[in-house]
Chain A
Amino acid sequence: MLSLSPDEWVAVRLSLKIALVATAVALPFGVAVAWLLARKQFWGKTLLDGLLHLPLVLPPVVTGYLLLISFGRRGPIGAFLADHLGIVFSFRWTGAALACGVMGFPLLVRPIRLAIEAIDRKLEDAAATLGADRLWVFLTVTLPLAMPGLIAGLVLCFAKALGEFGATITFVSNIPGETQTISAAIYTFVQIPGGDAAAGRLALVAIAISLAALIAAEWLARRAGTRFHGE
């Protein structure tokens, strides 16, 4: 009962791959946007902040639909990327990763932004007087001090990506082996007679992965915390 069938394994591995890729690709953008929002005043900042949070409040189906019309094969961005860079999103796992990344992005940015805002900027001044240019100040002072926020953001984004359903299924459909994540597979199994056992097994896997991510995050955050206060 508890061992997964090959098809279910495919969904689990695909989900992990999509969530990891989505989180990893979102990270540098997330750090950059968090830094901008925390440190810079610029025209359109409120708008950017609003757009950023939109996936959090919009129905996920709407986000998926917007991705479909912009990043789909005939969408303006999708057509450009396919023709010039050979990157195709529609009905591919890459599209699922894009949808998951977009949905997880606000959850990634927020804790990093708060962590950067909490940093004593006098420490950055001190680093500058010691010869560090702005990039080094960021890499050696700002980023390490924001590490607990970064870890929190990564876990939230990963968890969101792992569980994402509405935007993904709207954008790239539910294709076994290509775009069928754990969530989509559970949904499918629930729809068919006799699929309850498979749905239950996958649900257990989802719980296990989510718990493991939370525990790992807690452990990492505590380690980062003791690095500041312990020996």
Chain B
Amino acid sequence: MLALDVEKRLGDFSMKASLDTAGGVTALFGPSGAGKTTLANIIAGLIAPDHGRIVLDDTVLFDAERRINVPAHRRRIGYVFQEGRLFPHLSVAANLDYGRRMSGFAPNAAELERIAELLDIGHLLARRPGKLSGGERQRVAVGRALLMRPRLLLLDEPLASLDAARKREILPYLQKLHDEARVPMIYVSHHAGELRRLARSVVRLDAGRVTAVGGLELLAEADADALA
């Protein structure tokens, strides 16, 4: 699946991380400021590491020594951002369709319908993102990332901007996604509760270093540390 071993300096912050994901949902877990979003951006190709290698399945996405750096737009890694980042000038339908158009896939109404139903966003298609609630916006963002047929889906704190009620509203969709979509996912969060419902394996990140790799028991330790 995804294998990476990278180093990156950004001002005072330094990241030195290596990890292997096994497929399914991998939690990237750690406190704020641990570098989770930086690592997600490195995987997506939005930040180039200083050193190292990133391999997804059989494709080398980045290799500093061989001077390989596949640009973000050719990595086919779906990315759901904390703030959704829907295009404000496009309708929900056009937002959903954006990845397909840019990737040059033929229109696929059945696929659109399936994803719209999975995320319950079919009734929002004609609206603009400005008219959506926070929960709706994040569901559309998930749909948009899925419809580009990603090889890997990155979710960076997709619930962080939502209140508790909205989180409860959207979590079942993410669980369904986990069960039905069959896309390997990396789910970034500092919230153990969310991860426990979604992830199978856990990578713990602290101050730019991977400090533990394992199963859900890592989340329990975090509870003990009163992190969650």
Of B72, B103, B127, the contact of A125 (CB 8 Å cutoff): B72
Of B46, B83, B85, B99, the contact of A131 (CB 8 Å cutoff): B99
Chain A residues with CB below 8 A from B54, complex form: none
Q: Given known contacts A125-B46, A127-B87, is B99 in contact with A133 (CB within 8 Å)?
A: no
Nearest Cβ on chain B to A8's Cβ, whole angstroms: 43
Q: Given known contacts A131-B73, A131-B102, A145-B89, is B128 in contact with A126 (CB within 8 Å)?
A: no
**Interface assignment of B2: CB less than 8 Å from any CB of chain A:** no
The CA of A126 and the CA of B80, in the complex, are separated in Å by: 9
The CA of A133 and the CA of B70, in the complex, are separated in Å by: 12
**Interface assignment of A194: CB less than 8 Å from any CB of chain B:** no
Chain B residues with CB below 8 A from A145, complex form: 88-89
Q: Which residue of B lies closest to A224 (CB)?
A: B89
Q: Which residue of B lies closest to A128 (CB)?
A: B72
Nearest Cβ on chain B to A127's Cβ, whole angstroms: 7
Contact between A144 and B89, CB atoms less than 8 A apart: yes
Contact between A129 and B72, CB atoms less than 8 A apart: yes
Chain B residues with CB below 8 A from A54, complex form: none
Nearest Cβ on chain A to B10's Cβ, whole angstroms: 16
The CA of A157 and the CA of B75, in the complex, are separated in Å by: 41
Interface size, A (range):
20 to 34
Contact between B102 and A132, CB atoms less than 8 A apart: yes
Chain A residues with CB below 8 A from B75, complex form: 129
**Interface assignment of B166: CB less than 8 Å from any CB of chain A:** no
The CA of A227 and the CA of B87, in the complex, are separated in Å by: 11
Q: How many residues of B contact A (CB 8 A)?
A: 31
Contact between B130 and A129, CB atoms less than 8 A apart: no
Contact between A129 and B87, CB atoms less than 8 A apart: no
Nearest Cβ on chain A to B57's Cβ, whole angstroms: 18
Contact between B89 and A129, CB atoms less than 8 A apart: no
Contact between A129 and B128, CB atoms less than 8 A apart: no
Contact between B77 and A129, CB atoms less than 8 A apart: yes
Contact between B98 and A130, CB atoms less than 8 A apart: yes
A and B contact pairs by CB, cutoff 8 A, 25 listed? A127-B98, A128-B46, A128-B71, A128-B72, A129-B44, A129-B78, A129-B145, A130-B98, A130-B145, A131-B74, A131-B102, A131-B103, A132-B102, A133-B71, A136-B73, A137-B73, A141-B87, A144-B89, A145-B88, A145-B89, A227-B128, A228-B130, A229-B128, A229-B130, A231-B126
> B: which residues have CB within 8 A of A?
44-46, 71-79, 81, 83, 85, 87-89, 98-99, 102-104, 126-128, 130-131, 144-145, 148
